[in-house]
Every structure is written in C-alpha cells, then in structure tokens.
Amino acid sequence: MNVIETKGLSKRYRSTWALRDFTMAIPAGHVAALVGPNGAGKTTLLNLVVGLAAPSVGTVTVLGGEPAGSPAALDDIAFVAQDAPLYKNLPVADMLRLTSYLNRRFDDGYARERLSELGIPLKRKAGKLSGGQQAQLALTLALARRPRLLVLDEPLANLDPLARHDFMATVLAAAAETGEGEVGGMSVVLSSHVLAELERVADYLILVSGGQVQVVGEVDGLLARHRVLTGPAGAADRIARRLPVVYVRRAGAQAHLLVRTSGPDEPVPPGWEAHPVSLEELVLSYLREPGAAALPGPARTQKAEPMEVTR
C-alpha cells in the first residue's frame, strides 16, 4: 500500500507553478525524508497531501487510494506544521481538551502520560513553554490521534540540537511502536533541511527541485547505486564521458565524482578509487545539480544520461 501517491500533480498560484507534473509514490511503513531547496514545492506538496490545498492538475491520494482531504483520509492523518501551531494563551490541559473535541479519535491518557514524562506542566500556557516543549506538545497532540500517516513540515527548524534529537527520537519510537505486529502502522513523511538528522532516521528519500521529483526511493537502494570515485583531475572529463556522473568536484590534482552505478560489483576505472556515499553527500550533489536525474525509483522511471559538470 502507498501512503501517498501522486500522478501528474501540478499546483499553480496565479502565474507561478509550485509543482509541475509531480509523480511519485511512498510505500507504507517508512520514515520518508522530503528534501529540497527553499521554493522547491515541499510545503505545497504537504498541504495537498493533508487537504489544505487542492490540485490545479493531476491527483493525490493517501492511505491506499483515499482522496486527499476526504473525511476518511483526515481521520487517519496528523499534521504538524513548521511553526508548531498552538493556541498560545491556552493552558496545555485546554489544548488537550480542544484537540479531543475536534477529532473523532484522541488518546487522552497517552497524551497526558507523555507530557508528564517530558516534564511539560498541564497548567502552563502553551505560549510560555520553550520552543522544544512547544514542538513536543504539537507532536503529542498529533500522535494522540493515533494516525496511520504523520506529516511533519520543517518541525526541526527552530529547535536546538538537543531538542531536535529528542523530537526525532519520539517520532522514531512512535513509528516503531505502531509498526510492530499492527496492520496499517504509522508511516512518517518529514520535510527538513537538517540533513544530519535525516540521515539518522530516514529510510526513504524524496528529493524535489523546481517543483518536480528529482530523486525518489529507499535510502539503502539509492546509496547502493551511487559511489564516489576519487582520481586524477586530468582524467575526470574522460570518466564523465563514460559514466553517468551526477557531480564533479576538483581539488588540486584530484577529482571527486559522484556517479550512478548498476550495483556494488560494477568495475572501478583503472587509477581510480571507489568510496561509499553518504545520504548527505547524495542529497547535496543532486541539489547542486538540479538537472541531474536519479536512477529509477519504484514509482518513477527516469533515464540516466551521462553528464559532465565542473565546480
């Protein structure tokens, strides 16, 4: 089952296209990282997924085919926006009651227990909490709805390193808890610029640029199909003509090439060394070269053309 699937999805705001022909799928059971530069269309995509916006062209479905924004979909999706939207003048206890009244499913006992473990007082106004506590409160309200899909739009942007770590630990624990032995356990889609955190938690990647899908697939598979070649800078152009190169970085007499491969057994050119690529290296290379196309993912077929780029 795909928790999110888009086909030819496009969204226009007046004369500006935020998304164009956006086609991809995210299978259930993943913590999926949505990555891209500012203005790439990430927030627009998430707003379409949770029903806060309607497509201009194309379709977006969730949870195995439910139309995005439909009552059946909304019951099983929880959304935490970047600014952790809370009624700042309401005490935490009133935020729990309000969220309970507005949703058909809300685990009040879970929410209170979790807030107690975090040391967040129920009597304190939401606006008086620290940034990390506000983010944890917003996350608790979302998780207490027991969603099948948790959508997080830049939840780490305003948090310090410790708060970011604690926030993501909670997300991972909740995903693992609902995924073990439970049909339709929770999937997570997380938009963030904090690549170090994403590398630690994500097992699925969607990289967008210019309103279109650039890379999509399971992280392990994408990393296995890319490698870094290190060798003489003078031979970089020749290698780039033979192999599908995503990005070239020259440093003095050496060149570092991120290349796509058919697998770990693909031969290494003579005089060159091959090194595994990290998720951060992969993402940054594709962000630097937005015209590069990834190897095909499970829901998108793309032709990988050899290319030569120089930095």
- Domain of residue 239 covers 225-288
In this structure, the answer to whether residues 137 and 17 fall within a common structural domain is: yes
pLDDT of residue 292: 60
Find all residues with CB under 8 Å of 182, minimum gap 6, and list them: none
Residue where a domain terminates, one of 218, 250, 265: 218
Kindly state the tokens that stand for 90: 């309401």
pLDDT value of residue 181: 37
* Whole-number Å distance between alpha carbons of 6 and 45: 10
Q: What is the pTM of this model?
A: 0.85
Residue 203 is predicted with a pLDDT of 93
Tokens of 175: 């995903």
93 in a structural domain: yes
Examine the domain organization and report whether 117 and 155 are in the same domain.
yes
Residues of the chain under the 50 pLDDT cut: 180-184, 294-311
Q: Quick check: is 293 in a domain?
A: no
Residue 301 lies in a domain: no
Q: Verify that 252 and 114 share a domain, yes or no.
A: no
By CB atoms closer than 10 A (0-12, 13-18, 19+), residue 1 is: middle
- Residue-wise pLDDT for 57-90, tens only, equals 999 999 999 999 999 899 999 999 877 778 999 9
Residue 81: which H helix or E strand, with range?
none
Q: Which residue, among 76, 79, 97, 75, has the nearest Cα to 87 in the 3D structure?
A: 97
